[in-house]
Each structure stands twice: as C-alpha cells, then as structure tokens.
Structure 1
Amino acid sequence: MKVIVCDDEFLAVERLERMLSRIDDIVIAGSAQNGRDALALIAEHAPDALFLDIEMPALDGFDVVEALAADPNVAPPLIVFVTAFPQFAAHAFDTGAVDFLIKPVRFARLEMAVARVRDVIDQRDARRRLADLAGQLSALRAEGNDNVGGANEIWVHRRAERIRVDLDAVELVRAEGEYVRLFVGEQSFLHRASIGSIAARLDPGRFMRVHRSYVVRLDLIAKIRRKTAGGYSLLLVGGEEIPLGRLYRADLLRHAQG
C-alpha cells in the first residue's frame, strides 16, 4: 500500500513515517509540509492513502480534499486525517475520510487506521473485479447474439467500453495466458478466449496457426528464416519476428511451396 504523509510540522511527519515503516507492506511514496506540495505528490505517485493534517497554512486539510474532488484527472487517495483538534472529527468524516487520528498518534491506533484503509481498498478492488466480470459477460452475450447472423466479428471489453473487432481485419493473434491479443493495424485488443477458439473462426485460406502462441495472416509473412541454432522463425512485413513451431512448420512450408 502506497502512502503519502502531509503535516506542516516536520517532527510530526518524521514520527508518523517512522511508525508507518514498522507496518508490513507499506511504501511511503513521499511527504509534504503543505497542501500544495501534497497535491503535487499525489498527482505524481497516485498513492492509495494520504495521512493528512488539517491545520496547515495556505491550504488546510479540508482544502486539499476539495481540490482532489474537483480534479477529474487525479485518482484521489483514501484520506486519514491526523490532527491535534478532535472538534474537527465530525467535519472530517463528512468529507468521506476513512479514519481520524488524534495527535500524538499511538502505534496501535495507527495500525487500526491502516487496517481500515486496506479493507476499503479490498472492497473497492472486489467491486472493480465484479464490474469487469459483468462487462465481460455482457460482451460474451453480445458476441453470441451478433454471431447468429454469421458476421465474423467479436466484441472485446476495454475499460468501460465494448469494441467490435472484425476478425477478417486481424493481422496477428498472440496467446497471453487465458487471453489472446488481437492485432489490427496500429491497435491491439485483449480478449478472454483460447487461441484455438479464435483460430477456428478465421478463414483457413488467409490465416494459419504457426506456433502454439501465434496465428498469422499469411499475406503478412515476408520471410521464413532458418536459425543457426536450429528451428525456424517468421519475419513479418512490418519487421516483427515470431517463432515458427515445429508442429506447424510442415504446413507452412507446403503453403510456401505451392
């Protein structure tokens, strides 16, 4: 968990950093002694959490939170307020703060605050994974519906978008674990599928499986190279070199000869 500490008192920053360094899996990305520097550090490091003093000159802690909320280009960290003034607690929690620590901060209380931050991060990640899964399921359903008419296309999920990919326009397919990457011109798209299932949907007169991890469009093969150490590779028109698997070599050589 990446954190930033902001307090206008240097000794307070130093003390809090020292205690945070005793907690496992905490990375202190930086510290600031005023709100403006804190905002700059957040934009640079994108921390998970900000331990933020409230009473500071120029921009106080509440001003920092308002500035973060108003900036659509910055992912705001989770906020833990740290202050010597308990009367700010109600306002602090109204801003959406995860926790509120009173100076001098005790180590056991700091551990509790860190645990709360971790819980929020875990819940947020779980919601994001669920949203991604829902998007993938929607894409699969759409793909199934679209294929009823015989169109040779699939829908891929990318962030908040679903993008239609014409399989006839694909130039190269590369396996990446449980996914395949489809190369189309200057773009590439990650899709959850096996390379075998994609190969089965490509025109066998235009595409060929050349390796357990690659399918290539035949008109993009510029050269078949024999390596000095043995084996073969393919040089594509764009300059990329990919391996030619032993099990697929005979079929490609026959294609090249005929």
Structure 2
Amino acid sequence: MLTYIRRRLDEHSELVNKVLENIKKNQSEVKNTIREMRNSLEGLNSRVEDTEEHISALDERLEEITQAEQKKEKRIRYNENSLKELWDNITHANICIIGVSEGEERDKGAENLFEEIIYENFPNLRKEIDIQVQEAQRAPNKINPKRPTPRHIIIKLSKIKDKERILKAARERPQVTYKGKPIRLSADFSAKTVQARREWHDIFKVLKGKNLQPRICYPSRLSFRMEGEIKSFSDKQKLKEFITKKPVL
C-alpha cells in the first residue's frame, strides 16, 4: 500500500514539475513577445515623431511662402495704386473728348476743334475765362477694327479749375454736341480709376434717393452731406465701417 502511494506521489510530482516547466517556458515566450511588441511600438513612435517633425517643417515653410506671397501681392497693389495716382495727377488738368469721328482734327488741329466745341456749347463760358490749351491730340491707342469707335481726343489745359468749370458746364447741359452731333466730355482717368468710379454707381443712386447730395470727387472718392457735415470715402470698406455706426443709411 505504501509503495503504491509513493508511486502515485512520484507520478504527481513529475506531472507538477512538467506543468511548472511548461509555465516557465510559456512565460519566457510571453516575455519575448512583449519585448518584441514594445520594440515595434517604440519604432512606430519614432517614425510618428519623425513624421510630425516633417509636417511641422512643411507647415513652417508653407507659412513662409504664404507670407512672401502676401507681401508680393501687397507690393503689386501698392505699385498699381502709385501708378494710378501718378497717372491721375499727370492728367488732372486733362479733358477727354469722346465721340468725335476720326480725321475731324486733321485739317484744323485738335486744339481748334476743342475751341469749336466750346463755342458751340458754352459761348458764355468762353467769354468768362481764358482757356489755355497746352497740348491736344488723339489718344495714341490703335483703332480696333472689331470695334470701330473713334479714339478719344485728349486736351491738356493749363489750369485745373478751367477743366472743372468746363466739365461742370457739360454736366448741366442736356447734351454736348459737335456740329450738331452728340459727344461727351469727361475727365481723363486711368482705367483703374474709371473702374473705381463705376463701382460707386449703385451706392450713389441710393444716397441720391435719400437726398444726401452725393458726389464722385477726384479721382474716385465718394462724398455726401449728412447731418450738416460732408463725409468722404476712398473705398467701399471705409464706407461699410461708417455705415455700421450710422445704420440710418
């Protein structure tokens, strides 16, 4: 009986030892697996950090490029505005005659043609002021065969106030003519200034409807009278900022 019990104990002891060995072996494998997973995770973290640094560097470079482009656009706008202002200052005393057929000035000259227009439309004004013409010629741009409108005639006067009086008189007439045919007299603005003046058109009509006496001042400022004061704006953004404070508009 004792022999049997010893034998059974030995068998159980051997089985337990095998189980313990298997457990130790499995623990070792699990540790190795965990170590491998940790190494892989560290590698992934390292690559993520490298990627984040690369993205950060790209973001910084993009910001530099964006700022450079903004500065470039700002310089371009500044140069365009400077050129527009220079042109408008040079042509401040100019009158532009629109609608006179090509060749009309060939025999008599553009200056004499301008004098005929003044006599025909503003005879009293001609007696009141001594209009002095410095230069008179057709605009140098070529005739477009697809749009056969005559080139403008540019009259450069000696005095700005003479130009303003003539244009004021032209606005007060129902029609300005040359040899009975309708023409137009206007200031000689740059293309950008002409566009800037046109952009005030709808706002001008609204202000006029409210009896605020709007005017488009030289070269492209909008002014109107409100509460006894004259308000003047160079662009729509400044007008918008003013309107937010004066919702009555």
TM-score, normalized by length of structure 2? 0.24
Structure possessing the higher radius of gyration over alpha carbons? 2
Q: Which of the pair has the greater relative contact order for Cα pairs under 8 Å at 6+ separation? A: 2
Q: Which has the higher strand share?
A: 1
TM-score, normalized by length of structure 1? 0.24
